[in-house]
Structure 1
Amino acid sequence: MKEIIVSNVTLSTAMTLAFCDDIEISRSTGFIWSSDGQDFLITNWHCITGVNPLTGKSLSKTGARPNHLTMALATTQFGVKFALDLPLYDAEGEALWMVHPTAGEQVDVVAIPIQGEFRSTEETKRSLAKPFNELESKRHEAFVGDELMIVGFPRNLHIHGLPLFKRATFATEPNLYKDEPSFRHESSHRQVWVDCATRQGMSGSPVIHVKRSTILRPLGSPQEYDDLLDSYSFYGIYSGRVVDPDEDPRIDDQFAAQIGIVWPKPLIERIVKEGVRDRFRREDVFEKTIEGIPIAPRDIADRRDPGSSPG
Protein backbone atom coordinates (compact mmCIF):
# COMPACT_ATOMS: atom_id res chain seq x y z
CA MET A 1 0.00 0.00 0.00
CA LYS A 2 1.30 3.43 -0.91
CA GLU A 3 2.46 5.50 2.05
CA ILE A 4 0.12 8.38 2.85
CA ILE A 5 1.63 11.56 4.27
CA VAL A 6 -0.77 13.75 6.24
CA SER A 7 0.05 16.83 8.29
CA ASN A 8 -0.03 16.47 12.07
CA VAL A 9 -1.99 19.73 12.14
CA THR A 10 -4.66 18.05 10.01
CA LEU A 11 -4.79 14.96 12.22
CA SER A 12 -4.88 16.96 15.46
CA THR A 13 -7.76 19.25 14.49
CA ALA A 14 -11.12 17.79 15.49
CA MET A 15 -14.72 18.43 14.62
CA THR A 16 -16.69 18.99 17.83
CA LEU A 17 -20.39 18.19 18.02
CA ALA A 18 -22.50 19.81 20.73
CA PHE A 19 -25.48 17.86 22.05
CA CYS A 20 -28.41 18.51 24.33
CA ASP A 21 -28.92 14.95 25.54
CA ASP A 22 -29.23 13.02 22.25
CA ILE A 23 -30.08 16.00 20.05
CA GLU A 24 -27.25 17.57 18.06
CA ILE A 25 -27.31 21.36 18.39
CA SER A 26 -24.25 22.57 16.53
CA ARG A 27 -20.84 21.72 15.11
CA SER A 28 -17.59 23.57 15.49
CA THR A 29 -13.86 22.89 15.75
CA GLY A 30 -11.49 22.14 18.62
CA PHE A 31 -8.10 20.73 19.47
CA ILE A 32 -6.20 19.19 22.37
CA TRP A 33 -3.75 21.00 24.65
CA SER A 34 -1.61 19.43 27.36
CA SER A 35 -0.30 21.05 30.54
CA ASP A 36 1.37 19.42 33.56
CA GLY A 37 0.03 15.98 32.70
CA GLN A 38 -3.55 17.19 32.16
CA ASP A 39 -5.11 17.19 28.69
CA PHE A 40 -7.76 19.70 27.65
CA LEU A 41 -10.10 20.28 24.75
CA ILE A 42 -9.65 23.88 23.61
CA THR A 43 -12.57 25.55 21.86
CA ASN A 44 -14.76 28.66 22.17
CA TRP A 45 -17.02 29.60 25.08
CA HIS A 46 -19.96 30.30 22.78
CA CYS A 47 -19.67 26.82 21.22
CA ILE A 48 -20.29 25.01 24.51
CA THR A 49 -22.83 27.39 26.07
CA GLY A 50 -24.90 28.32 23.04
CA VAL A 51 -24.72 31.94 24.22
CA ASN A 52 -23.19 35.03 22.61
CA PRO A 53 -20.61 36.22 25.18
CA LEU A 54 -21.03 39.87 24.15
CA THR A 55 -24.83 40.07 24.29
CA GLY A 56 -25.76 37.20 26.60
CA LYS A 57 -28.37 36.11 24.05
CA SER A 58 -28.97 32.59 22.82
CA LEU A 59 -27.35 31.62 19.54
CA SER A 60 -30.14 29.15 18.87
CA LYS A 61 -33.69 30.13 17.99
CA THR A 62 -34.90 27.29 20.20
CA GLY A 63 -32.83 28.38 23.19
CA ALA A 64 -31.28 24.91 23.41
CA ARG A 65 -28.14 24.51 25.53
CA PRO A 66 -25.51 21.78 25.06
CA ASN A 67 -24.78 19.48 27.99
CA HIS A 68 -22.05 17.38 26.39
CA LEU A 69 -19.64 17.41 23.45
CA THR A 70 -18.23 14.76 21.16
CA MET A 71 -14.80 15.17 19.58
CA ALA A 72 -14.31 13.28 16.31
CA LEU A 73 -10.62 12.35 16.32
CA ALA A 74 -8.61 10.89 13.44
CA THR A 75 -7.46 7.29 13.93
CA THR A 76 -4.97 4.85 12.45
CA GLN A 77 -7.81 3.46 10.33
CA PHE A 78 -8.14 5.84 7.39
CA GLY A 79 -11.49 7.64 7.30
CA VAL A 80 -12.61 6.23 10.67
CA LYS A 81 -13.01 8.57 13.64
CA PHE A 82 -12.75 7.93 17.36
CA ALA A 83 -15.54 9.66 19.28
CA LEU A 84 -14.41 11.16 22.58
CA ASP A 85 -17.40 12.26 24.66
CA LEU A 86 -16.96 15.09 27.17
CA PRO A 87 -19.60 16.15 29.72
CA LEU A 88 -19.98 19.90 30.20
CA TYR A 89 -21.64 19.91 33.64
CA ASP A 90 -21.30 17.93 36.84
CA ALA A 91 -24.16 16.28 38.74
CA GLU A 92 -25.03 19.61 40.39
CA GLY A 93 -25.26 21.42 37.06
CA GLU A 94 -21.98 23.28 37.55
CA ALA A 95 -19.77 23.94 34.54
CA LEU A 96 -16.71 21.71 34.18
CA TRP A 97 -14.67 23.96 31.90
CA MET A 98 -12.03 26.56 32.70
CA VAL A 99 -12.15 30.20 31.61
CA HIS A 100 -9.80 33.17 31.74
CA PRO A 101 -9.11 33.94 35.43
CA THR A 102 -10.22 37.57 35.27
CA ALA A 103 -11.99 38.21 31.97
CA GLY A 104 -14.11 35.05 31.98
CA GLU A 105 -16.06 34.47 28.79
CA GLN A 106 -15.07 37.90 27.49
CA VAL A 107 -12.08 35.92 26.25
CA ASP A 108 -14.08 33.52 24.10
CA VAL A 109 -11.86 30.53 24.88
CA VAL A 110 -12.38 27.56 27.20
CA ALA A 111 -10.32 24.59 28.33
CA ILE A 112 -12.34 21.45 29.09
CA PRO A 113 -10.41 18.89 31.14
CA ILE A 114 -10.28 15.44 29.56
CA GLN A 115 -10.81 12.90 32.32
CA GLY A 116 -7.83 10.57 32.50
CA GLU A 117 -4.68 10.88 30.46
CA PHE A 118 -5.36 11.24 26.75
CA ARG A 119 -4.67 8.01 24.80
CA SER A 120 -4.52 6.10 28.10
CA THR A 121 -6.66 3.20 26.84
CA GLU A 122 -6.19 0.82 23.93
CA GLU A 123 -9.12 2.45 22.14
CA THR A 124 -7.88 6.01 22.44
CA LYS A 125 -4.36 4.96 21.47
CA ARG A 126 -5.74 4.46 17.96
CA SER A 127 -6.17 8.21 17.70
CA LEU A 128 -3.57 10.09 15.69
CA ALA A 129 -4.44 13.42 17.30
CA LYS A 130 -1.72 15.02 19.39
CA PRO A 131 -1.83 18.01 21.75
CA PHE A 132 -1.15 21.08 19.64
CA ASN A 133 1.49 22.38 22.01
CA GLU A 134 3.45 19.16 21.49
CA LEU A 135 3.56 19.36 17.69
CA GLU A 136 6.91 20.21 16.17
CA SER A 137 6.90 23.79 14.97
CA LYS A 138 9.19 26.78 14.70
CA ARG A 139 8.58 30.04 16.49
CA HIS A 140 8.38 33.03 14.16
CA GLU A 141 8.09 36.74 14.71
CA ALA A 142 4.65 37.84 13.53
CA PHE A 143 4.02 40.93 11.42
CA VAL A 144 0.88 42.51 10.02
CA GLY A 145 0.15 41.07 6.59
CA ASP A 146 1.80 37.72 7.36
CA GLU A 147 0.13 34.58 6.08
CA LEU A 148 -1.98 32.34 8.32
CA MET A 149 -3.94 29.14 7.97
CA ILE A 150 -7.21 28.68 9.86
CA VAL A 151 -7.86 24.95 10.13
CA GLY A 152 -11.44 23.84 10.60
CA PHE A 153 -14.76 22.74 9.20
CA PRO A 154 -16.58 25.61 7.42
CA ARG A 155 -20.25 24.74 6.98
CA ASN A 156 -19.27 21.25 8.23
CA LEU A 157 -17.33 20.59 5.02
CA HIS A 158 -14.61 17.95 5.09
CA ILE A 159 -13.01 15.16 3.06
CA HIS A 160 -12.53 11.83 4.85
CA GLY A 161 -13.46 13.66 8.05
CA LEU A 162 -10.38 15.89 7.85
CA PRO A 163 -10.44 19.70 8.13
CA LEU A 164 -9.97 22.39 5.52
CA PHE A 165 -7.15 24.94 5.57
CA LYS A 166 -8.44 28.48 4.95
CA ARG A 167 -5.87 31.08 4.04
CA ALA A 168 -5.78 34.32 6.06
CA THR A 169 -3.52 37.26 6.85
CA PHE A 170 -3.01 39.42 9.93
CA ALA A 171 -5.30 42.43 9.46
CA THR A 172 -4.13 44.16 12.65
CA GLU A 173 -0.75 44.33 14.36
CA PRO A 174 -0.30 40.85 15.90
CA ASN A 175 2.00 41.98 18.71
CA LEU A 176 -0.13 44.76 20.21
CA TYR A 177 -2.66 42.61 22.08
CA LYS A 178 -2.60 43.04 25.85
CA ASP A 179 -3.86 40.80 28.63
CA GLU A 180 -4.00 43.32 31.45
CA PRO A 181 -6.14 43.80 34.60
CA SER A 182 -7.75 47.01 33.31
CA PHE A 183 -9.22 45.21 30.32
CA ARG A 184 -12.05 43.43 32.11
CA HIS A 185 -14.79 44.05 29.56
CA GLU A 186 -12.70 45.45 26.70
CA SER A 187 -12.05 42.12 25.04
CA SER A 188 -10.84 43.67 21.78
CA HIS A 189 -7.56 44.59 23.50
CA ARG A 190 -6.81 40.88 23.78
CA GLN A 191 -7.81 40.07 20.19
CA VAL A 192 -6.00 40.07 16.89
CA TRP A 193 -8.08 40.49 13.74
CA VAL A 194 -7.46 38.57 10.55
CA ASP A 195 -8.55 38.94 6.95
CA CYS A 196 -10.17 35.67 5.88
CA ALA A 197 -13.43 34.46 4.35
CA THR A 198 -14.64 32.19 7.14
CA ARG A 199 -17.98 30.55 7.84
CA GLN A 200 -19.92 28.83 10.59
CA GLY A 201 -18.26 25.67 11.84
CA MET A 202 -14.80 27.23 12.08
CA SER A 203 -15.22 28.56 15.61
CA GLY A 204 -12.55 26.93 17.76
CA SER A 205 -10.16 26.45 14.85
CA PRO A 206 -6.41 26.47 15.47
CA VAL A 207 -4.64 29.31 13.70
CA ILE A 208 -1.26 28.55 12.16
CA HIS A 209 1.32 31.22 11.34
CA VAL A 210 3.03 30.27 8.10
CA LYS A 211 6.49 31.60 7.40
CA ARG A 212 8.26 31.28 4.09
CA SER A 213 12.05 31.47 4.36
CA THR A 214 14.59 31.71 1.57
CA ILE A 215 17.97 29.97 1.41
CA LEU A 216 20.47 31.48 -1.00
CA ARG A 217 22.67 28.85 -2.65
CA PRO A 218 26.21 29.88 -3.60
CA LEU A 219 27.01 30.13 -7.30
CA GLY A 220 28.28 26.87 -8.73
CA SER A 221 26.31 24.71 -6.31
CA PRO A 222 24.00 22.00 -7.69
CA GLN A 223 21.04 24.34 -7.06
CA GLU A 224 21.73 27.90 -8.13
CA TYR A 225 18.26 29.13 -7.24
CA ASP A 226 16.45 30.03 -4.08
CA ASP A 227 14.74 27.30 -2.09
CA LEU A 228 11.53 28.27 -0.34
CA LEU A 229 11.19 26.49 2.98
CA ASP A 230 7.72 26.55 4.52
CA SER A 231 7.47 26.23 8.29
CA TYR A 232 4.76 27.05 10.77
CA SER A 233 4.06 27.96 14.36
CA PHE A 234 0.83 27.82 16.34
CA TYR A 235 -0.50 31.36 16.83
CA GLY A 236 -3.91 31.08 18.50
CA ILE A 237 -7.57 30.14 18.22
CA TYR A 238 -10.23 31.57 15.90
CA SER A 239 -13.62 32.43 17.41
CA GLY A 240 -15.76 34.07 14.73
CA ARG A 241 -16.26 37.22 12.74
CA VAL A 242 -16.14 40.77 14.04
CA VAL A 243 -19.55 41.32 12.45
CA ASP A 244 -21.57 38.20 11.74
CA PRO A 245 -24.04 38.34 8.80
CA ASP A 246 -25.45 34.98 9.90
CA GLU A 247 -26.86 36.69 13.00
CA ASP A 248 -28.06 39.84 11.21
CA PRO A 249 -29.06 39.43 7.53
CA ARG A 250 -29.07 43.22 7.10
CA ILE A 251 -25.28 43.22 7.28
CA ASP A 252 -23.30 43.23 4.04
CA ASP A 253 -22.00 39.66 3.87
CA GLN A 254 -19.27 40.55 1.38
CA PHE A 255 -17.51 42.72 3.94
CA ALA A 256 -18.51 41.11 7.22
CA ALA A 257 -17.29 37.65 6.24
CA GLN A 258 -13.76 38.93 5.75
CA ILE A 259 -12.72 40.08 9.25
CA GLY A 260 -12.26 37.42 11.91
CA ILE A 261 -11.20 37.29 15.57
CA VAL A 262 -8.19 35.35 16.85
CA TRP A 263 -7.14 34.92 20.48
CA PRO A 264 -3.34 34.53 20.77
CA LYS A 265 -1.60 31.50 22.24
CA PRO A 266 -0.60 33.12 25.60
CA LEU A 267 -4.29 33.39 26.50
CA ILE A 268 -4.71 29.63 26.07
CA GLU A 269 -1.62 29.02 28.17
CA ARG A 270 -2.96 31.27 30.92
CA ILE A 271 -6.35 29.57 30.96
CA VAL A 272 -4.91 26.06 31.30
CA LYS A 273 -2.47 27.15 34.02
CA GLU A 274 -4.36 29.87 35.93
CA GLY A 275 -7.93 29.51 34.69
CA VAL A 276 -10.93 29.28 37.00
CA ARG A 277 -13.91 27.01 36.73
CA ASP A 278 -16.71 28.93 35.07
CA ARG A 279 -19.75 29.65 37.22
CA PHE A 280 -22.07 29.65 34.22
CA ARG A 281 -25.13 27.51 34.90
CA ARG A 282 -26.97 26.12 31.92
CA GLU A 283 -30.45 26.22 33.47
CA ASP A 284 -30.12 29.77 34.83
CA VAL A 285 -29.70 31.34 31.42
CA PHE A 286 -32.09 28.88 29.81
CA GLU A 287 -34.94 29.93 32.12
CA LYS A 288 -34.33 33.65 31.62
CA THR A 289 -34.11 33.21 27.87
CA ILE A 290 -37.47 31.45 27.79
CA GLU A 291 -39.01 34.31 29.76
CA GLY A 292 -37.65 36.73 27.19
CA ILE A 293 -35.42 38.57 29.64
CA PRO A 294 -32.09 39.52 28.03
CA ILE A 295 -28.95 38.85 30.02
CA ALA A 296 -26.24 41.50 29.99
CA PRO A 297 -22.66 40.32 29.48
CA ARG A 298 -21.76 41.42 33.01
CA ASP A 299 -24.46 39.19 34.49
CA ILE A 300 -22.73 36.15 33.08
CA ALA A 301 -19.17 37.41 33.28
CA ASP A 302 -19.20 38.34 36.95
CA ARG A 303 -20.00 34.81 38.06
CA ARG A 304 -16.48 34.40 39.37
CA ASP A 305 -15.32 33.14 42.73
CA PRO A 306 -15.55 36.04 45.18
CA GLY A 307 -11.90 35.57 46.03
CA SER A 308 -10.65 36.03 42.48
CA SER A 309 -8.66 39.21 42.02
CA PRO A 310 -9.61 41.75 39.35
CA GLY A 311 -7.25 41.59 36.42
Structure 2
Amino acid sequence: MEWSGRRWLVTNRHVVTGRDQTSGQPLSSHGGVPDRVRIRTAPKEGWIEQILIDEDGKTHWFEHPTLGSEADIVCFEVPPSVGVPEHLSPRHILADRADPISVVGYPMGATGVGDAAVWATGFLASAIDDAEGYDSKPVFLIDCRTREGQSGSPVYLFRRGMLSTLSGDIHADPGRSWSELVGIYSGRIRNGTDIGMVWKAKAVEELLVAADLKTQTYTSLPDNFLRMSLSAPSAGGGRS
Protein backbone atom coordinates (compact mmCIF):
# COMPACT_ATOMS: atom_id res chain seq x y z
CA MET A 1 0.00 0.00 0.00
CA GLU A 2 1.32 3.45 -0.89
CA TRP A 3 1.39 6.05 1.85
CA SER A 4 3.42 9.27 2.03
CA GLY A 5 5.55 8.15 -0.90
CA ARG A 6 6.50 4.84 0.74
CA ARG A 7 5.34 1.25 0.33
CA TRP A 8 3.74 -0.55 3.28
CA LEU A 9 2.33 -4.01 3.81
CA VAL A 10 -0.82 -4.06 5.94
CA THR A 11 -1.99 -7.35 7.41
CA ASN A 12 -3.58 -8.80 10.53
CA ARG A 13 -1.85 -8.78 13.88
CA HIS A 14 -2.70 -12.45 14.41
CA VAL A 15 -0.80 -13.25 11.19
CA VAL A 16 2.47 -11.81 12.50
CA THR A 17 2.06 -13.00 16.10
CA GLY A 18 0.75 -16.46 15.18
CA ARG A 19 -1.63 -16.15 18.12
CA ASP A 20 -5.38 -15.86 18.48
CA GLN A 21 -6.34 -12.22 19.06
CA THR A 22 -8.71 -13.06 21.91
CA SER A 23 -7.07 -15.93 23.79
CA GLY A 24 -3.44 -15.30 22.90
CA GLN A 25 -2.99 -19.00 22.24
CA PRO A 26 -0.85 -20.16 19.28
CA LEU A 27 -2.86 -20.73 16.11
CA SER A 28 -0.61 -23.58 15.01
CA SER A 29 -1.45 -27.04 16.30
CA HIS A 30 2.30 -27.44 16.93
CA GLY A 31 2.38 -24.37 19.19
CA GLY A 32 4.90 -22.52 17.04
CA VAL A 33 4.78 -18.78 16.32
CA PRO A 34 6.54 -16.98 13.44
CA ASP A 35 9.69 -14.88 13.72
CA ARG A 36 9.74 -14.00 10.01
CA VAL A 37 7.51 -14.07 6.97
CA ARG A 38 8.11 -14.32 3.22
CA ILE A 39 6.40 -11.91 0.84
CA ARG A 40 5.97 -12.07 -2.93
CA THR A 41 7.74 -9.14 -4.61
CA ALA A 42 5.84 -9.43 -7.89
CA PRO A 43 4.27 -12.36 -9.76
CA LYS A 44 6.94 -15.00 -10.44
CA GLU A 45 9.81 -12.62 -9.63
CA GLY A 46 10.83 -13.90 -6.19
CA TRP A 47 10.23 -13.40 -2.50
CA ILE A 48 11.63 -11.26 0.29
CA GLU A 49 12.00 -12.31 3.88
CA GLN A 50 10.66 -9.94 6.53
CA ILE A 51 11.98 -10.33 10.06
CA LEU A 52 9.13 -10.06 12.56
CA ILE A 53 10.97 -10.60 15.85
CA ASP A 54 14.73 -10.15 16.15
CA GLU A 55 17.17 -11.95 18.43
CA ASP A 56 16.53 -9.41 21.20
CA GLY A 57 12.79 -10.07 21.09
CA LYS A 58 12.01 -6.72 19.46
CA THR A 59 9.03 -6.76 17.11
CA HIS A 60 9.38 -5.16 13.67
CA TRP A 61 5.83 -4.14 12.95
CA PHE A 62 3.68 -1.14 13.83
CA GLU A 63 0.37 -1.32 15.69
CA HIS A 64 -2.58 1.06 15.76
CA PRO A 65 -1.64 4.27 17.65
CA THR A 66 -4.56 4.15 20.12
CA LEU A 67 -5.91 0.60 20.03
CA GLY A 68 -2.48 -1.07 20.04
CA SER A 69 -2.70 -4.84 20.38
CA GLU A 70 -6.51 -4.63 20.50
CA ALA A 71 -6.54 -3.86 16.78
CA ASP A 72 -6.05 -6.84 14.50
CA ILE A 73 -4.17 -4.77 11.93
CA VAL A 74 -0.45 -4.02 11.73
CA CYS A 75 1.91 -2.72 9.07
CA PHE A 76 5.58 -2.63 8.15
CA GLU A 77 7.53 -0.93 5.40
CA VAL A 78 8.58 -2.95 2.36
CA PRO A 79 10.62 -2.18 -0.78
CA PRO A 80 8.84 -0.61 -3.79
CA SER A 81 9.12 -3.95 -5.62
CA VAL A 82 6.55 -5.55 -3.32
CA GLY A 83 3.04 -5.93 -4.65
CA VAL A 84 0.90 -3.54 -6.64
CA PRO A 85 0.53 -0.06 -5.14
CA GLU A 86 -2.87 0.56 -3.56
CA HIS A 87 -4.06 3.89 -2.24
CA LEU A 88 -6.62 4.85 0.37
CA SER A 89 -9.13 7.35 -0.96
CA PRO A 90 -12.22 9.08 0.45
CA ARG A 91 -15.37 6.97 0.42
CA HIS A 92 -17.51 7.61 -2.65
CA ILE A 93 -19.40 4.39 -3.52
CA LEU A 94 -22.82 4.15 -1.89
CA ALA A 95 -23.15 0.86 -0.01
CA ASP A 96 -25.33 -0.46 2.79
CA ARG A 97 -26.40 -3.76 4.34
CA ALA A 98 -26.96 -6.60 1.84
CA ASP A 99 -24.90 -4.90 -0.89
CA PRO A 100 -22.11 -7.00 -2.48
CA ILE A 101 -18.55 -6.80 -1.20
CA SER A 102 -15.39 -8.75 -2.12
CA VAL A 103 -12.48 -10.20 -0.13
CA VAL A 104 -9.45 -10.49 -2.43
CA GLY A 105 -6.96 -13.11 -1.24
CA TYR A 106 -5.80 -16.72 -1.33
CA PRO A 107 -8.31 -19.08 0.33
CA MET A 108 -6.57 -22.29 1.40
CA GLY A 109 -3.56 -21.07 -0.63
CA ALA A 110 -5.54 -21.17 -3.89
CA THR A 111 -4.71 -18.74 -6.70
CA GLY A 112 -6.38 -17.64 -9.87
CA VAL A 113 -4.85 -17.57 -13.36
CA GLY A 114 -1.22 -16.47 -13.29
CA ASP A 115 -1.06 -16.52 -9.47
CA ALA A 116 -3.72 -13.81 -9.30
CA ALA A 117 -5.70 -13.41 -6.09
CA VAL A 118 -9.18 -14.93 -5.76
CA TRP A 119 -12.20 -12.63 -5.43
CA ALA A 120 -14.55 -14.12 -2.82
CA THR A 121 -17.76 -12.11 -2.94
CA GLY A 122 -20.43 -11.86 -0.27
CA PHE A 123 -22.60 -9.16 1.25
CA LEU A 124 -22.38 -6.39 3.79
CA ALA A 125 -23.81 -7.61 7.09
CA SER A 126 -23.52 -4.25 8.87
CA ALA A 127 -23.12 -0.66 7.72
CA ILE A 128 -19.64 0.50 6.76
CA ASP A 129 -20.12 4.02 8.03
CA ASP A 130 -21.68 3.42 11.46
CA ALA A 131 -19.92 5.61 14.02
CA GLU A 132 -19.77 2.71 16.47
CA GLY A 133 -18.51 -0.43 14.82
CA TYR A 134 -18.75 -4.09 15.76
CA ASP A 135 -17.61 -4.78 19.34
CA SER A 136 -17.08 -1.00 19.76
CA LYS A 137 -14.14 -1.12 17.36
CA PRO A 138 -13.67 0.38 13.87
CA VAL A 139 -14.93 -2.86 12.33
CA PHE A 140 -17.87 -3.74 10.09
CA LEU A 141 -19.28 -7.18 9.34
CA ILE A 142 -19.66 -9.11 6.10
CA ASP A 143 -21.43 -12.34 5.17
CA CYS A 144 -18.92 -14.13 2.93
CA ARG A 145 -17.59 -17.68 2.48
CA THR A 146 -13.98 -17.17 3.61
CA ARG A 147 -11.30 -19.66 4.56
CA GLU A 148 -7.74 -19.88 5.90
CA GLY A 149 -5.32 -17.86 3.83
CA GLN A 150 -7.59 -14.82 3.50
CA SER A 151 -6.60 -13.11 6.75
CA GLY A 152 -5.18 -9.68 5.96
CA SER A 153 -6.89 -9.55 2.57
CA PRO A 154 -8.03 -6.20 1.16
CA VAL A 155 -11.80 -5.77 0.97
CA TYR A 156 -13.38 -3.91 -1.93
CA LEU A 157 -16.65 -2.51 -3.09
CA PHE A 158 -16.81 -3.36 -6.80
CA ARG A 159 -19.45 -2.15 -9.21
CA ARG A 160 -19.79 -2.77 -12.94
CA GLY A 161 -22.03 -0.88 -15.35
CA MET A 162 -23.77 1.30 -12.80
CA LEU A 163 -22.62 3.26 -9.75
CA SER A 164 -24.47 5.14 -7.04
CA THR A 165 -22.32 7.57 -5.04
CA LEU A 166 -22.54 8.94 -1.53
CA SER A 167 -23.14 12.38 -3.00
CA GLY A 168 -26.32 11.12 -4.72
CA ASP A 169 -24.96 10.85 -8.26
CA ILE A 170 -25.73 7.88 -10.49
CA HIS A 171 -23.35 6.81 -13.24
CA ALA A 172 -24.34 4.33 -15.95
CA ASP A 173 -21.75 2.95 -18.36
CA PRO A 174 -21.90 -0.72 -19.47
CA GLY A 175 -18.21 -0.74 -20.31
CA ARG A 176 -16.93 0.71 -17.04
CA SER A 177 -16.24 -0.64 -13.55
CA TRP A 178 -15.45 1.03 -10.24
CA SER A 179 -13.72 -0.28 -7.13
CA GLU A 180 -12.99 1.11 -3.69
CA LEU A 181 -10.82 -0.28 -0.88
CA VAL A 182 -12.89 -0.17 2.30
CA GLY A 183 -10.90 -2.25 4.77
CA ILE A 184 -8.81 -5.27 5.75
CA TYR A 185 -10.40 -8.65 6.43
CA SER A 186 -9.43 -10.25 9.76
CA GLY A 187 -11.41 -13.48 10.10
CA ARG A 188 -14.80 -14.78 11.19
CA ILE A 189 -16.44 -13.74 14.45
CA ARG A 190 -16.41 -17.41 15.50
CA ASN A 191 -16.10 -20.87 14.01
CA GLY A 192 -19.21 -22.25 12.32
CA THR A 193 -20.34 -18.94 10.82
CA ASP A 194 -19.69 -17.05 7.59
CA ILE A 195 -19.94 -13.67 9.34
CA GLY A 196 -16.53 -12.02 9.10
CA MET A 197 -14.86 -8.88 10.40
CA VAL A 198 -13.34 -6.06 8.34
CA TRP A 199 -11.19 -3.33 9.87
CA LYS A 200 -12.29 -0.04 8.34
CA ALA A 201 -10.11 1.93 5.95
CA LYS A 202 -10.11 4.81 8.44
CA ALA A 203 -8.37 2.61 11.02
CA VAL A 204 -5.85 1.54 8.37
CA GLU A 205 -5.18 5.20 7.58
CA GLU A 206 -4.58 5.97 11.27
CA LEU A 207 -2.17 3.04 11.45
CA LEU A 208 -0.20 4.22 8.41
CA VAL A 209 -0.04 7.82 9.60
CA ALA A 210 1.40 6.72 12.94
CA ALA A 211 3.89 4.30 11.36
CA ASP A 212 5.07 6.94 8.91
CA LEU A 213 5.60 9.50 11.67
CA LYS A 214 7.63 7.04 13.72
CA THR A 215 9.94 6.18 10.83
CA GLN A 216 10.09 9.33 8.71
CA THR A 217 13.66 10.06 9.85
CA TYR A 218 14.86 6.94 8.02
CA THR A 219 15.62 7.20 4.32
CA SER A 220 15.84 3.44 3.73
CA LEU A 221 15.39 0.13 5.45
CA PRO A 222 18.40 -1.40 7.26
CA ASP A 223 20.30 -3.84 5.07
CA ASN A 224 19.60 -6.76 7.40
CA PHE A 225 15.90 -5.97 7.68
CA LEU A 226 14.92 -7.69 4.44
CA ARG A 227 16.71 -10.57 2.75
CA MET A 228 16.06 -11.82 -0.75
CA SER A 229 14.95 -15.40 -1.31
CA LEU A 230 14.02 -16.89 -4.66
CA SER A 231 12.53 -20.06 -3.20
CA ALA A 232 8.74 -20.27 -3.01
CA PRO A 233 7.19 -20.54 0.49
CA SER A 234 5.24 -23.53 1.66
CA ALA A 235 1.47 -23.37 1.25
CA GLY A 236 -0.61 -22.27 4.19
CA GLY A 237 -2.24 -19.25 5.78
CA GLY A 238 -3.58 -17.66 8.91
CA ARG A 239 -6.95 -18.28 10.44
CA SER A 240 -9.95 -16.91 8.65
Into which bin does the TM-score normalised by the smaller protein fall?
A: 0.7 to 0.9
What CA distance in whole angstroms lies between the structure 1 residues aligned with 2:176 and 2:63? 37
Q: Please say if residues 139 and 232 of structure 1, whose CA atoms lie closer than 8 Å, have aligned partners that are also in contact.
A: no
* RMSD over equivalenced CA pairs, Å: 2.7
User: 1:31-180, aligned counterparts within 5 Å?
Assistant: 33-75=1-43, 80-114=44-78, 117-119=79-81, 129-133=83-87, 139-159=92-112, 160-178=114-132
Partner of 1:233: 180
Structure 1: segments with no counterpart, 5+ residues: 1-32, 120-126, 180-185, 216-224, 245-252, 278-311
SS of 1:102's partner is coil
Displacement of 1:39 after TM fit? 1.9
Measured against aligned partners, the alpha-carbon deviations of 1:165-204 in whole angstroms (never above 9, x if no partner) come to 101111111111448xxxxxx8543210001011111001
Q: Which AA in structure 1 matches 2:84? A: K
Displacement of 1:206 after TM fit? 0.5
**CA 1:241–1:91: 2 relative to 1, 3 Å:** same
What CA distance in whole angstroms lies between the structure 2 residues aligned with 1:43 and 1:197? 19
SS of 1:207's partner is strand
Measured against aligned partners, the alpha-carbon deviations of 1:72-108 in whole angstroms (never above 9, x if no partner) come to 2434xxxx24212111123422111011112112210
| Bigger-Rg structure (1/2) | 1
**CA 1:51–1:271: 2 relative to 1, 3 Å:** same
Structure 2: segments with no counterpart, 5+ residues: 164-171, 215-240
> Which deviates the most, 152-161 or 234-243?
152-161
Q: Please say if residues 104 and 155 of structure 2, whose CA atoms lie closer than 8 Å, have aligned partners that are also in contact.
A: yes
- TM-score when scaled to structure 1? 0.59
**CA 1:104–1:84: 2 relative to 1, 3 Å:** same
Q: Which AA in structure 2 matches 1:47? A: V
Considering fraction of residues, name the structure with more strand. 2
What CA distance in whole angstroms lies between the structure 1 residues aligned with 2:116 and 2:206? 29
What CA distance in whole angstroms lies between the structure 1 residues aligned with 2:197 and 2:54? 30
Partner of 1:261: 197
Q: Which AA in structure 1 matches 2:75? A: A
Measured against aligned partners, the alpha-carbon deviations of 1:130-154 in whole angstroms (never above 9, x if no partner) come to 22117x9983133222211111111
Displacement of 1:213 after TM fit? 4.9
Q: Which AA in structure 1 matches 2:125? A: A
SS of 1:269's partner is helix
Q: Which AA in structure 1 matches 2:128? A: P
Q: Please say if residues 138 and 232 of structure 1, whose CA atoms lie closer than 8 Å, have aligned partners that are also in contact.
A: no
Q: Please say if residues 204 and 238 of structure 1, whose CA atoms lie closer than 8 Å, have aligned partners that are also in contact.
A: yes
SS of 1:108's partner is coil
Displacement of 1:241 after TM fit? 0.4
- Percent identity, aligned pairs only, is 26
Displacement of 1:155 after TM fit? 0.8
**CA 1:272–1:214: 2 relative to 1, 3 Å:** closer
Q: Please say if residues 13 and 74 of structure 2, whose CA atoms lie closer than 8 Å, have aligned partners that are also in contact.
A: yes
Q: Please say if residues 137 and 233 of structure 1, whose CA atoms lie closer than 8 Å, have aligned partners that are also in contact.
A: no
SS of 2:158's partner is strand
